[in-house]
Structure 1
Amino acid sequence: MTDQTYHAAVLGSPIAHSKSPAMHQAAYQYLQAPIDYDRFEVAVNQAAEFFASLDQRFGSRRRLAGFSVTMPLKAVLVPHMDHLSTRVQRLGVLNTVVFDEHGAAYGYNTDVDGVRLALAQAGFTSAAGGSMGILGAGGTATAAVAAAADMGLTQVVLYVRNPQRAQDALEVAEHFGLEARVERLETFVQQVVHHAAVVATLPAHAADALATELPSAGLPPLLDVIYDPWPTALAAAWQTTGARVASGLDMLLYQGVEQAKLFTQKVVVNPETIDWDTATQHMAAALALDVS
Protein backbone atom coordinates (compact mmCIF):
# COMPACT_ATOMS: atom_id res chain seq x y z
CA MET A 1 0.00 0.00 0.00
CA THR A 2 1.34 3.42 -0.92
CA ASP A 3 1.77 5.99 1.84
CA GLN A 4 0.52 8.81 -0.42
CA THR A 5 -3.05 10.05 -0.32
CA TYR A 6 -4.83 10.06 -3.64
CA HIS A 7 -7.93 11.98 -4.60
CA ALA A 8 -11.13 10.91 -6.33
CA ALA A 9 -14.54 12.52 -6.75
CA VAL A 10 -17.85 12.46 -8.54
CA LEU A 11 -18.37 15.24 -11.09
CA GLY A 12 -21.67 16.52 -12.41
CA SER A 13 -24.52 18.97 -11.93
CA PRO A 14 -26.57 18.81 -9.80
CA ILE A 15 -24.37 16.69 -7.54
CA ALA A 16 -25.46 17.38 -3.93
CA HIS A 17 -27.80 14.36 -3.94
CA SER A 18 -25.16 11.90 -5.18
CA LYS A 19 -24.76 8.68 -3.21
CA SER A 20 -21.38 7.96 -4.79
CA PRO A 21 -19.26 9.51 -1.99
CA ALA A 22 -20.79 7.31 0.73
CA MET A 23 -20.48 4.22 -1.47
CA HIS A 24 -16.86 4.82 -2.50
CA GLN A 25 -15.75 5.89 0.97
CA ALA A 26 -17.11 2.62 2.36
CA ALA A 27 -14.99 0.70 -0.14
CA TYR A 28 -11.74 2.56 0.54
CA GLN A 29 -12.23 2.39 4.30
CA TYR A 30 -12.65 -1.39 4.08
CA LEU A 31 -9.66 -1.69 1.74
CA GLN A 32 -7.59 0.73 3.85
CA ALA A 33 -6.80 2.40 0.54
CA PRO A 34 -5.52 6.00 0.87
CA ILE A 35 -8.14 7.56 -1.40
CA ASP A 36 -10.15 10.62 -0.40
CA TYR A 37 -13.42 10.73 -2.34
CA ASP A 38 -15.27 14.04 -2.74
CA ARG A 39 -17.85 15.66 -5.01
CA PHE A 40 -17.55 18.66 -7.32
CA GLU A 41 -20.36 20.59 -8.95
CA VAL A 42 -19.24 20.96 -12.58
CA ALA A 43 -21.62 22.20 -15.26
CA VAL A 44 -21.08 21.75 -18.99
CA ASN A 45 -19.65 25.24 -19.43
CA GLN A 46 -17.21 24.66 -16.54
CA ALA A 47 -15.74 21.36 -17.70
CA ALA A 48 -12.76 22.76 -19.67
CA GLU A 49 -11.81 25.14 -16.87
CA PHE A 50 -12.10 22.37 -14.28
CA PHE A 51 -9.77 20.04 -16.20
CA ALA A 52 -7.30 22.86 -16.82
CA SER A 53 -7.13 23.46 -13.04
CA LEU A 54 -6.40 19.90 -11.90
CA ASP A 55 -2.75 20.48 -11.01
CA GLN A 56 -3.70 23.58 -9.05
CA ARG A 57 -6.60 21.91 -7.25
CA PHE A 58 -4.86 18.67 -6.32
CA GLY A 59 -1.16 19.55 -6.36
CA SER A 60 -0.58 17.25 -9.34
CA ARG A 61 -2.66 15.13 -11.68
CA ARG A 62 -0.44 12.26 -10.51
CA ARG A 63 -2.19 12.45 -7.12
CA LEU A 64 -5.57 11.72 -8.71
CA ALA A 65 -7.01 8.22 -8.63
CA GLY A 66 -9.95 9.17 -10.82
CA PHE A 67 -13.39 10.67 -11.25
CA SER A 68 -16.87 9.23 -11.39
CA VAL A 69 -18.77 11.20 -14.03
CA THR A 70 -22.51 11.77 -14.06
CA MET A 71 -24.84 13.98 -16.05
CA PRO A 72 -24.41 16.25 -17.88
CA LEU A 73 -20.70 15.52 -18.44
CA LYS A 74 -20.61 12.00 -19.85
CA ALA A 75 -20.08 13.13 -23.44
CA VAL A 76 -18.57 16.52 -22.61
CA LEU A 77 -15.44 15.06 -20.99
CA VAL A 78 -14.60 12.65 -23.80
CA PRO A 79 -12.45 15.20 -25.73
CA HIS A 80 -10.46 15.93 -22.54
CA MET A 81 -9.14 12.36 -22.30
CA ASP A 82 -5.64 11.31 -23.32
CA HIS A 83 -6.85 7.77 -23.99
CA LEU A 84 -10.27 6.19 -24.51
CA SER A 85 -11.31 2.59 -23.96
CA THR A 86 -12.74 0.77 -26.96
CA ARG A 87 -16.12 0.83 -25.25
CA VAL A 88 -16.08 4.62 -24.90
CA GLN A 89 -14.97 5.00 -28.51
CA ARG A 90 -18.04 3.03 -29.55
CA LEU A 91 -20.51 4.63 -27.14
CA GLY A 92 -19.27 8.21 -27.30
CA VAL A 93 -19.85 8.64 -23.56
CA LEU A 94 -17.85 7.85 -20.41
CA ASN A 95 -18.67 7.66 -16.74
CA THR A 96 -15.17 7.05 -15.35
CA VAL A 97 -11.85 8.87 -15.62
CA VAL A 98 -8.69 7.18 -14.36
CA PHE A 99 -5.29 8.86 -14.03
CA ASP A 100 -2.11 6.82 -14.47
CA GLU A 101 1.17 7.38 -12.61
CA HIS A 102 2.13 10.09 -15.12
CA GLY A 103 -1.17 11.95 -14.80
CA ALA A 104 -2.58 10.87 -18.16
CA ALA A 105 -6.40 10.64 -18.23
CA TYR A 106 -8.12 7.46 -19.41
CA GLY A 107 -11.84 7.38 -20.18
CA TYR A 108 -13.89 4.28 -19.34
CA ASN A 109 -17.58 3.39 -19.20
CA THR A 110 -18.63 1.14 -16.33
CA ASP A 111 -22.34 1.93 -16.76
CA VAL A 112 -22.40 -1.06 -19.11
CA ASP A 113 -21.18 -3.32 -16.30
CA GLY A 114 -23.73 -1.72 -13.99
CA VAL A 115 -26.58 -2.66 -16.33
CA ARG A 116 -25.33 -6.20 -16.88
CA LEU A 117 -24.66 -6.97 -13.22
CA ALA A 118 -27.87 -5.34 -11.99
CA LEU A 119 -29.86 -7.54 -14.37
CA ALA A 120 -27.95 -10.56 -13.05
CA GLN A 121 -29.00 -9.50 -9.55
CA ALA A 122 -32.59 -9.45 -10.87
CA GLY A 123 -32.31 -13.03 -12.07
CA PHE A 124 -30.95 -12.83 -15.62
CA THR A 125 -28.58 -15.78 -16.05
CA SER A 126 -27.42 -16.32 -19.62
CA ALA A 127 -28.61 -16.01 -23.16
CA ALA A 128 -27.84 -17.44 -26.53
CA GLY A 129 -29.70 -14.98 -28.66
CA GLY A 130 -32.85 -13.20 -27.59
CA SER A 131 -33.66 -9.54 -27.23
CA MET A 132 -33.53 -6.68 -24.74
CA GLY A 133 -36.34 -4.16 -24.58
CA ILE A 134 -35.08 -0.66 -23.78
CA LEU A 135 -37.40 2.16 -22.76
CA GLY A 136 -35.83 5.42 -23.91
CA ALA A 137 -32.90 6.26 -26.18
CA GLY A 138 -30.56 8.52 -24.19
CA GLY A 139 -27.08 7.95 -22.83
CA THR A 140 -28.10 5.19 -20.41
CA ALA A 141 -29.93 3.46 -23.24
CA THR A 142 -26.71 3.25 -25.24
CA ALA A 143 -25.02 1.64 -22.22
CA ALA A 144 -27.88 -0.86 -22.14
CA VAL A 145 -27.29 -1.64 -25.82
CA ALA A 146 -23.65 -2.45 -25.08
CA ALA A 147 -24.70 -4.53 -22.07
CA ALA A 148 -27.07 -6.52 -24.30
CA ALA A 149 -24.10 -7.48 -26.46
CA ASP A 150 -22.07 -8.46 -23.39
CA MET A 151 -24.97 -10.59 -22.15
CA GLY A 152 -25.12 -12.66 -25.33
CA LEU A 153 -28.31 -11.12 -26.66
CA THR A 154 -28.58 -10.51 -30.39
CA GLN A 155 -31.33 -7.89 -30.67
CA VAL A 156 -32.44 -4.67 -28.98
CA VAL A 157 -35.78 -2.96 -29.36
CA LEU A 158 -35.92 0.72 -28.43
CA TYR A 159 -39.29 1.95 -27.21
CA VAL A 160 -39.40 5.73 -27.52
CA ARG A 161 -41.73 8.69 -27.69
CA ASN A 162 -39.68 10.38 -30.42
CA PRO A 163 -38.10 7.91 -32.89
CA GLN A 164 -35.71 10.57 -34.21
CA ARG A 165 -33.90 10.56 -30.84
CA ALA A 166 -33.01 6.88 -31.24
CA GLN A 167 -30.38 7.36 -33.95
CA ASP A 168 -27.37 7.32 -31.61
CA ALA A 169 -28.54 4.13 -29.92
CA LEU A 170 -29.13 2.49 -33.30
CA GLU A 171 -25.60 3.34 -34.38
CA VAL A 172 -24.22 1.87 -31.16
CA ALA A 173 -26.19 -1.32 -31.78
CA GLU A 174 -24.66 -1.54 -35.25
CA HIS A 175 -21.17 -1.11 -33.75
CA PHE A 176 -21.82 -4.06 -31.45
CA GLY A 177 -23.28 -6.23 -34.21
CA LEU A 178 -26.81 -6.23 -32.80
CA GLU A 179 -30.04 -6.23 -34.73
CA ALA A 180 -32.03 -3.19 -33.66
CA ARG A 181 -35.38 -1.60 -34.29
CA VAL A 182 -37.39 1.30 -32.94
CA GLU A 183 -40.97 1.08 -31.69
CA ARG A 184 -43.40 3.57 -30.22
CA LEU A 185 -43.42 3.54 -26.43
CA GLU A 186 -47.10 2.62 -26.25
CA THR A 187 -46.46 -0.70 -28.07
CA PHE A 188 -44.16 -1.95 -25.31
CA VAL A 189 -46.79 -3.75 -23.25
CA GLN A 190 -47.83 -5.87 -26.24
CA GLN A 191 -44.26 -7.06 -26.84
CA VAL A 192 -42.71 -7.18 -23.36
CA VAL A 193 -43.05 -10.94 -22.78
CA HIS A 194 -40.96 -11.64 -25.88
CA HIS A 195 -37.85 -10.02 -24.37
CA ALA A 196 -35.20 -11.79 -22.30
CA ALA A 197 -34.57 -8.61 -20.27
CA VAL A 198 -35.88 -5.05 -20.06
CA VAL A 199 -34.10 -1.82 -19.13
CA ALA A 200 -36.17 1.29 -18.41
CA THR A 201 -34.11 4.46 -18.79
CA LEU A 202 -36.96 6.98 -18.80
CA PRO A 203 -37.23 9.84 -16.26
CA ALA A 204 -39.28 9.37 -13.11
CA HIS A 205 -43.00 8.86 -13.82
CA ALA A 206 -42.51 8.75 -17.61
CA ALA A 207 -43.42 5.05 -17.69
CA ASP A 208 -46.27 5.24 -15.16
CA ALA A 209 -48.96 4.82 -17.81
CA LEU A 210 -47.43 1.51 -18.91
CA ALA A 211 -47.67 0.05 -15.40
CA THR A 212 -51.45 -0.35 -15.54
CA GLU A 213 -51.32 -2.29 -18.82
CA LEU A 214 -48.65 -4.91 -18.12
CA PRO A 215 -49.40 -8.60 -18.63
CA SER A 216 -50.08 -10.44 -15.38
CA ALA A 217 -47.39 -13.07 -15.92
CA GLY A 218 -44.35 -13.97 -18.01
CA LEU A 219 -42.36 -10.78 -17.51
CA PRO A 220 -38.55 -10.92 -17.84
CA PRO A 221 -36.08 -9.35 -15.38
CA LEU A 222 -36.36 -5.55 -15.28
CA LEU A 223 -33.78 -2.89 -14.50
CA ASP A 224 -35.47 0.46 -13.87
CA VAL A 225 -32.61 2.96 -13.58
CA ILE A 226 -34.61 5.31 -11.33
CA TYR A 227 -33.86 5.12 -7.60
CA ASP A 228 -35.72 8.17 -6.32
CA PRO A 229 -38.66 7.85 -6.05
CA TRP A 230 -38.60 4.08 -5.54
CA PRO A 231 -40.32 1.92 -6.40
CA THR A 232 -41.55 3.47 -9.58
CA ALA A 233 -45.08 2.61 -10.67
CA LEU A 234 -43.56 0.39 -13.37
CA ALA A 235 -41.29 -1.47 -10.94
CA ALA A 236 -44.08 -1.95 -8.39
CA ALA A 237 -46.46 -3.33 -11.01
CA TRP A 238 -43.71 -5.57 -12.37
CA GLN A 239 -43.06 -7.07 -8.93
CA THR A 240 -46.74 -7.81 -8.33
CA THR A 241 -46.58 -10.32 -11.21
CA GLY A 242 -43.81 -12.23 -9.42
CA ALA A 243 -41.09 -11.02 -11.79
CA ARG A 244 -37.82 -9.66 -10.40
CA VAL A 245 -36.67 -6.05 -10.54
CA ALA A 246 -33.39 -4.19 -10.06
CA SER A 247 -33.25 -0.47 -9.31
CA GLY A 248 -30.97 2.38 -10.21
CA LEU A 249 -29.22 1.82 -6.88
CA ASP A 250 -28.25 -1.68 -8.01
CA MET A 251 -26.82 -0.23 -11.21
CA LEU A 252 -25.05 2.50 -9.21
CA LEU A 253 -23.50 -0.12 -6.95
CA TYR A 254 -22.15 -2.36 -9.66
CA GLN A 255 -20.82 0.42 -11.89
CA GLY A 256 -19.21 1.85 -8.74
CA VAL A 257 -17.50 -1.44 -7.90
CA GLU A 258 -15.92 -1.47 -11.36
CA GLN A 259 -14.82 2.15 -10.84
CA ALA A 260 -13.25 1.26 -7.49
CA LYS A 261 -11.30 -1.54 -9.16
CA LEU A 262 -9.89 1.00 -11.61
CA PHE A 263 -9.20 3.67 -8.98
CA THR A 264 -7.23 1.30 -6.74
CA GLN A 265 -4.91 -0.07 -9.43
CA LYS A 266 -2.06 2.34 -8.68
CA VAL A 267 -2.87 2.68 -4.98
CA VAL A 268 -2.86 -0.95 -3.83
CA VAL A 269 0.39 -2.87 -4.33
CA ASN A 270 -1.30 -6.18 -5.12
CA PRO A 271 -4.81 -5.29 -6.35
CA GLU A 272 -5.39 -8.86 -7.50
CA THR A 273 -5.52 -9.94 -3.82
CA ILE A 274 -8.51 -7.73 -2.96
CA ASP A 275 -11.66 -9.53 -1.82
CA TRP A 276 -14.07 -7.67 -4.07
CA ASP A 277 -17.09 -9.68 -2.91
CA THR A 278 -16.63 -8.30 0.60
CA ALA A 279 -15.85 -4.82 -0.73
CA THR A 280 -19.08 -4.96 -2.71
CA GLN A 281 -20.99 -5.84 0.45
CA HIS A 282 -19.54 -2.78 2.20
CA MET A 283 -20.49 -0.55 -0.73
CA ALA A 284 -23.98 -2.05 -0.82
CA ALA A 285 -24.43 -1.43 2.90
CA ALA A 286 -23.61 2.25 2.35
CA LEU A 287 -26.54 2.33 -0.12
CA ALA A 288 -28.77 0.28 2.21
CA LEU A 289 -28.86 -2.51 -0.38
CA ASP A 290 -28.96 -6.24 0.30
CA VAL A 291 -27.09 -8.08 -2.43
CA SER A 292 -26.53 -11.35 -0.53
Structure 2
Amino acid sequence: MLTGTRLAVWGDPIAHSRSPRLHAAAYRVLGLDWEYGRRRVSEDRFDAELAGLDATWRGLSLTMPLKHAAARAATVLDRHAQVTGAVNTLLLGAEPHGFNTDVGGLVRALREQGVDEAPAARILGAGATATSALVALADLGARRVEVVARRPDAVAALTALGEALGVLVTASGFHEASSDRVAVTIATLPGGTDLGAQADRLAAAGGVLVDVVYGNWPTPLAAAWERAGGVAFSGYGMLLHQALLQVRVFACGDPGTALPEEPAVLAAMRRALVGD
Protein backbone atom coordinates (compact mmCIF):
# COMPACT_ATOMS: atom_id res chain seq x y z
CA MET A 1 0.00 0.00 0.00
CA LEU A 2 1.36 3.42 -0.99
CA THR A 3 1.43 5.95 1.81
CA GLY A 4 2.88 9.40 2.42
CA THR A 5 4.28 12.04 0.12
CA ARG A 6 7.95 11.98 -0.74
CA LEU A 7 10.37 14.56 -2.13
CA ALA A 8 14.14 14.78 -2.27
CA VAL A 9 17.13 16.64 -3.60
CA TRP A 10 19.34 14.71 -6.01
CA GLY A 11 22.86 15.48 -7.15
CA ASP A 12 26.47 14.38 -7.03
CA PRO A 13 27.90 15.35 -4.59
CA ILE A 14 24.89 15.89 -2.33
CA ALA A 15 25.93 15.55 1.33
CA HIS A 16 26.48 19.32 1.60
CA SER A 17 22.96 20.24 0.47
CA ARG A 18 20.91 22.41 2.81
CA SER A 19 17.70 21.72 0.91
CA PRO A 20 16.38 19.09 3.38
CA ARG A 21 16.46 21.52 6.31
CA LEU A 22 14.92 24.33 4.24
CA HIS A 23 12.07 22.22 2.92
CA ALA A 24 11.40 20.52 6.26
CA ALA A 25 11.02 23.93 7.91
CA ALA A 26 8.55 25.04 5.24
CA TYR A 27 6.37 21.95 5.43
CA ARG A 28 6.18 22.16 9.22
CA VAL A 29 4.71 25.66 8.97
CA LEU A 30 2.34 24.54 6.21
CA GLY A 31 1.19 21.56 8.27
CA LEU A 32 2.21 19.09 5.57
CA ASP A 33 3.48 15.70 6.72
CA TRP A 34 5.81 15.34 3.76
CA GLU A 35 9.15 13.53 3.71
CA TYR A 36 12.04 15.37 2.04
CA GLY A 37 15.38 13.55 1.77
CA ARG A 38 18.52 13.53 -0.31
CA ARG A 39 20.03 11.04 -2.70
CA ARG A 40 23.38 10.92 -4.45
CA VAL A 41 22.62 10.36 -8.12
CA SER A 42 25.17 10.61 -10.93
CA GLU A 43 24.19 11.91 -14.35
CA ASP A 44 24.48 8.50 -15.98
CA ARG A 45 22.10 7.00 -13.37
CA PHE A 46 19.48 9.75 -13.49
CA ASP A 47 17.05 8.20 -15.98
CA ALA A 48 17.08 4.82 -14.25
CA GLU A 49 16.62 6.34 -10.79
CA LEU A 50 13.75 8.51 -12.05
CA ALA A 51 12.04 5.54 -13.68
CA GLY A 52 12.23 3.66 -10.37
CA LEU A 53 10.10 6.16 -8.41
CA ASP A 54 6.61 5.10 -7.37
CA ALA A 55 3.43 7.14 -6.97
CA THR A 56 4.37 8.37 -3.49
CA TRP A 57 6.91 10.73 -5.07
CA ARG A 58 5.63 14.26 -5.64
CA GLY A 59 8.77 16.03 -6.79
CA LEU A 60 12.53 16.46 -6.94
CA SER A 61 15.00 19.26 -6.43
CA LEU A 62 18.00 18.88 -8.73
CA THR A 63 21.51 20.17 -8.31
CA MET A 64 24.64 19.62 -10.38
CA PRO A 65 25.19 17.67 -12.55
CA LEU A 66 21.53 16.79 -13.14
CA LYS A 67 19.87 20.01 -14.30
CA HIS A 68 20.17 19.33 -18.02
CA ALA A 69 19.12 15.69 -17.64
CA ALA A 70 16.07 16.85 -15.68
CA ALA A 71 15.19 19.27 -18.48
CA ARG A 72 15.24 16.40 -20.96
CA ALA A 73 13.00 14.32 -18.68
CA ALA A 74 10.32 17.00 -18.32
CA THR A 75 7.29 16.99 -20.59
CA VAL A 76 6.51 20.66 -19.86
CA LEU A 77 9.04 23.42 -19.10
CA ASP A 78 8.41 26.83 -17.57
CA ARG A 79 9.86 29.89 -19.34
CA HIS A 80 13.01 30.05 -17.24
CA ALA A 81 13.70 26.35 -17.83
CA GLN A 82 13.11 26.78 -21.55
CA VAL A 83 15.54 29.65 -22.01
CA THR A 84 18.27 28.21 -19.77
CA GLY A 85 17.88 24.55 -20.76
CA ALA A 86 18.21 23.70 -17.06
CA VAL A 87 15.69 22.33 -14.55
CA ASN A 88 16.29 22.38 -10.80
CA THR A 89 12.70 21.43 -9.88
CA LEU A 90 10.62 18.52 -11.19
CA LEU A 91 6.96 18.22 -10.33
CA LEU A 92 6.29 14.55 -10.98
CA GLY A 93 3.23 12.91 -12.46
CA ALA A 94 2.03 11.55 -15.80
CA GLU A 95 3.56 14.63 -17.46
CA PRO A 96 6.52 15.84 -15.36
CA HIS A 97 6.75 19.62 -15.23
CA GLY A 98 10.21 21.20 -15.08
CA PHE A 99 11.04 24.56 -13.54
CA ASN A 100 14.18 26.64 -13.06
CA THR A 101 13.70 28.47 -9.77
CA ASP A 102 17.36 29.57 -9.66
CA VAL A 103 16.45 32.52 -11.89
CA GLY A 104 13.52 33.69 -9.78
CA GLY A 105 15.48 33.02 -6.61
CA LEU A 106 18.29 35.30 -7.76
CA VAL A 107 15.84 38.03 -8.78
CA ARG A 108 14.13 37.87 -5.37
CA ALA A 109 17.49 37.91 -3.56
CA LEU A 110 18.61 40.99 -5.50
CA ARG A 111 15.36 42.81 -4.81
CA GLU A 112 15.69 41.93 -1.13
CA GLN A 113 19.01 43.81 -1.23
CA GLY A 114 17.39 46.85 -2.86
CA VAL A 115 18.35 46.07 -6.48
CA ASP A 116 15.05 46.55 -8.32
CA GLU A 117 16.57 47.24 -11.71
CA ALA A 118 19.96 46.77 -13.34
CA PRO A 119 20.22 48.38 -16.77
CA ALA A 120 23.94 47.56 -16.90
CA ALA A 121 25.51 44.61 -15.12
CA ARG A 122 28.53 42.33 -15.05
CA ILE A 123 28.81 38.55 -14.68
CA LEU A 124 32.07 36.94 -13.58
CA GLY A 125 32.45 33.47 -15.07
CA ALA A 126 30.75 31.80 -18.00
CA GLY A 127 29.64 28.43 -16.58
CA ALA A 128 26.18 26.98 -16.07
CA THR A 129 25.21 29.39 -13.28
CA ALA A 130 26.05 32.34 -15.51
CA THR A 131 23.14 31.36 -17.75
CA SER A 132 20.62 31.69 -14.92
CA ALA A 133 22.34 34.93 -13.86
CA LEU A 134 21.91 36.41 -17.33
CA VAL A 135 18.21 35.55 -17.45
CA ALA A 136 17.73 37.01 -13.96
CA LEU A 137 19.40 40.24 -15.05
CA ALA A 138 17.18 40.38 -18.14
CA ASP A 139 14.16 40.05 -15.84
CA LEU A 140 15.52 43.06 -13.90
CA GLY A 141 15.65 45.11 -17.09
CA ALA A 142 19.30 44.72 -18.04
CA ARG A 143 20.13 45.94 -21.53
CA ARG A 144 23.91 45.54 -21.36
CA VAL A 145 25.83 42.76 -19.59
CA GLU A 146 29.58 42.25 -19.67
CA VAL A 147 30.66 38.65 -19.06
CA VAL A 148 34.19 38.45 -17.71
CA ALA A 149 35.76 35.01 -18.16
CA ARG A 150 39.19 33.44 -18.31
CA ARG A 151 38.35 32.37 -21.87
CA PRO A 152 36.23 35.06 -23.55
CA ASP A 153 35.47 32.63 -26.41
CA ALA A 154 33.47 30.58 -23.88
CA VAL A 155 30.88 33.38 -23.75
CA ALA A 156 29.44 32.61 -27.21
CA ALA A 157 26.39 30.74 -25.87
CA LEU A 158 25.63 33.59 -23.46
CA THR A 159 25.93 36.10 -26.31
CA ALA A 160 23.36 34.14 -28.31
CA LEU A 161 21.06 33.90 -25.30
CA GLY A 162 21.43 37.63 -24.74
CA GLU A 163 20.28 38.30 -28.31
CA ALA A 164 17.15 36.22 -27.67
CA LEU A 165 16.50 38.17 -24.46
CA GLY A 166 17.16 41.59 -25.92
CA VAL A 167 20.37 42.03 -23.92
CA LEU A 168 23.70 43.09 -25.43
CA VAL A 169 26.29 40.66 -24.03
CA THR A 170 29.97 41.52 -24.40
CA ALA A 171 32.90 39.31 -23.47
CA SER A 172 36.24 40.18 -21.91
CA GLY A 173 39.09 38.58 -20.01
CA PHE A 174 39.84 39.48 -16.40
CA HIS A 175 42.79 41.67 -17.40
CA GLU A 176 40.73 43.63 -19.93
CA ALA A 177 37.37 44.04 -18.19
CA SER A 178 35.68 47.37 -18.75
CA SER A 179 35.94 50.09 -16.11
CA ASP A 180 32.38 51.22 -16.87
CA ARG A 181 30.18 51.41 -13.78
CA VAL A 182 27.43 48.81 -13.46
CA ALA A 183 24.55 48.43 -11.02
CA VAL A 184 25.33 44.85 -10.02
CA THR A 185 28.02 42.21 -10.43
CA ILE A 186 27.12 38.52 -10.16
CA ALA A 187 30.09 36.25 -9.48
CA THR A 188 29.58 32.65 -10.57
CA LEU A 189 33.20 31.58 -10.04
CA PRO A 190 34.24 28.59 -7.91
CA GLY A 191 34.39 29.29 -4.19
CA GLY A 192 37.64 30.83 -3.01
CA THR A 193 38.65 32.25 -6.41
CA ASP A 194 41.15 35.04 -5.79
CA LEU A 195 41.57 37.51 -8.65
CA GLY A 196 44.18 39.58 -6.83
CA ALA A 197 44.43 43.18 -8.02
CA GLN A 198 41.82 42.54 -10.69
CA ALA A 199 39.21 42.12 -7.97
CA ASP A 200 39.91 45.61 -6.63
CA ARG A 201 39.53 47.09 -10.11
CA LEU A 202 36.24 45.27 -10.67
CA ALA A 203 34.98 46.31 -7.25
CA ALA A 204 35.63 50.01 -7.91
CA ALA A 205 32.86 50.14 -10.54
CA GLY A 206 30.99 46.93 -9.81
CA GLY A 207 27.90 48.09 -7.93
CA VAL A 208 26.35 45.52 -5.60
CA LEU A 209 28.15 42.15 -5.61
CA VAL A 210 26.31 38.85 -5.45
CA ASP A 211 28.84 36.06 -4.95
CA VAL A 212 26.74 32.94 -5.49
CA VAL A 213 28.99 30.75 -3.34
CA TYR A 214 28.18 30.35 0.33
CA GLY A 215 30.03 28.99 3.31
CA ASN A 216 33.39 30.66 3.96
CA TRP A 217 32.61 34.36 4.07
CA PRO A 218 33.80 36.84 3.11
CA THR A 219 35.20 35.40 -0.09
CA PRO A 220 38.24 37.13 -1.62
CA LEU A 221 35.87 38.90 -4.02
CA ALA A 222 33.60 40.06 -1.20
CA ALA A 223 36.64 41.35 0.69
CA ALA A 224 37.63 43.41 -2.36
CA TRP A 225 34.14 44.96 -2.48
CA GLU A 226 34.34 45.79 1.21
CA ARG A 227 37.72 47.47 0.72
CA ALA A 228 36.13 49.58 -2.02
CA GLY A 229 33.28 50.58 0.30
CA GLY A 230 30.78 48.54 -1.68
CA VAL A 231 28.05 46.08 -0.75
CA ALA A 232 28.54 42.33 -1.13
CA PHE A 233 26.29 39.44 -0.20
CA SER A 234 26.56 35.69 -0.54
CA GLY A 235 24.56 33.04 -2.35
CA TYR A 236 22.48 32.33 0.75
CA GLY A 237 19.75 34.68 -0.47
CA MET A 238 19.53 32.94 -3.83
CA LEU A 239 19.53 29.54 -2.10
CA LEU A 240 16.74 30.61 0.24
CA HIS A 241 14.49 32.15 -2.36
CA GLN A 242 14.92 29.45 -5.00
CA ALA A 243 13.92 26.94 -2.31
CA LEU A 244 10.83 28.98 -1.44
CA LEU A 245 9.82 28.92 -5.10
CA GLN A 246 10.35 25.15 -5.12
CA VAL A 247 8.02 24.82 -2.14
CA ARG A 248 5.45 26.83 -4.10
CA VAL A 249 5.81 24.36 -6.98
CA PHE A 250 5.46 21.29 -4.77
CA ALA A 251 2.57 22.71 -2.70
CA CYS A 252 0.68 24.74 -5.34
CA GLY A 253 2.00 23.53 -8.70
CA ASP A 254 3.16 27.02 -9.71
CA PRO A 255 6.17 29.14 -8.62
CA GLY A 256 4.04 32.24 -9.14
CA THR A 257 1.41 31.24 -6.56
CA ALA A 258 2.09 32.47 -3.05
CA LEU A 259 1.88 29.99 -0.18
CA PRO A 260 -0.57 30.25 2.69
CA GLU A 261 1.19 32.08 5.53
CA GLU A 262 4.14 32.69 3.20
CA PRO A 263 5.91 35.28 5.42
CA ALA A 264 5.93 32.71 8.26
CA VAL A 265 7.19 30.02 5.87
CA LEU A 266 10.02 32.24 4.61
CA ALA A 267 11.00 33.22 8.16
CA ALA A 268 11.18 29.57 9.22
CA MET A 269 13.28 28.69 6.18
CA ARG A 270 15.62 31.61 6.87
CA ARG A 271 16.14 30.40 10.46
CA ALA A 272 16.79 26.87 9.22
CA LEU A 273 19.34 28.14 6.71
CA VAL A 274 21.50 29.79 9.35
CA GLY A 275 21.09 26.91 11.77
CA ASP A 276 18.90 28.54 14.40
- What is residue 102 of structure 2 aligned with on the other side? 111
- What is residue 14 of structure 1 aligned with on the other side? 13
Tell me, yes or no, if structure 1 residue 222 matches structure 2 residue 221: no
How far is the alpha carbon of 1:232 from its aligned partner?
0.4
CA 1:257/1:143 → structure 2, altered by over 3 Å: closer, same or farther?
A: same
Matches within 5 A, 1:69-80: 69-80=62-73
Kept after mapping to 1: 8 A contact 2:80/2:103: no
Q: For residues 186 and 259 of structure 2, what CA distance do their matches in structure 1 show?
A: 33
Tell me, yes or no, if structure 1 residue 213 matches structure 2 residue 206: no
- What is residue 242 of structure 2 aligned with on the other side? 255
Kept after mapping to 2: 8 A contact 1:119/1:246: no
CA 1:87/1:44 → structure 2, altered by over 3 Å: closer, same or farther?
A: same
Q: For residues 181 and 219 of structure 1, what CA distance do their matches in structure 2 show?
A: 16
Tell me the SS of whatever aligns to 1:9. strand
- What is residue 159 of structure 1 aligned with on the other side? 148
Cα-to-partner distance string for 1:70-89 (whole Å, 9 max, x where unaligned)? 00111122111111112212
Cα-to-partner distance string for 1:163-207 (whole Å, 9 max, x where unaligned)? 22222222221221111111112234x52x511111000002224
5+ residue gaps in structure 2? none
CA 1:187/1:281 → structure 2, altered by over 3 Å: closer, same or farther?
A: farther
Tell me the SS of whatever aligns to 1:114. helix
- Please report the RMSD computed on the Cα atoms of aligned residues, expressed in angstroms: 2.1
Tell me the SS of whatever aligns to 1:214. helix
When the two structures are superposed, what TM-score results if normalisation uses the length of structure 1?
0.86
Tell me, yes or no, if structure 1 residue 237 matches structure 2 residue 224: yes
CA 1:237/1:289 → structure 2, altered by over 3 Å: closer, same or farther?
A: farther
Q: 1:196 is aligned with what amino acid?
A: A
Q: For residues 203 and 78 of structure 2, what CA distance do their matches in structure 1 show?
A: 42
- Give the fraction of aligned pairs with identical amino acids, expressed as a percent: 34
Cα-to-partner distance string for 1:7-50 (whole Å, 9 max, x where unaligned)? 11111000001111111111111111232110010111111111
Q: For residues 171 and 10 of structure 1, what CA distance do their matches in structure 2 show?
A: 31
Could you tell me which of 262, 266, 280 is aligned with 2:266?
280
Q: For residues 172 and 19 of structure 2, what CA distance do their matches in structure 1 show?
A: 34
Q: For residues 273 and 282 of structure 1, what CA distance do their matches in structure 2 show?
A: 13
How many pairs align?
Answer: 271
Matches within 5 A, 1:99-138: 99=92, 102-127=93-118, 130-138=119-127
Return 179-188 or 203-212, whichever deviates more.
203-212
Tell me the SS of whatever aligns to 2:241. helix
How far is the alpha carbon of 1:265 from its aligned partner?
1.3
Could you tell me which of 120, 136, 146 is aligned with 1:147?
136
- What is residue 51 of structure 1 aligned with on the other side? 50
5+ residue gaps in structure 1? none
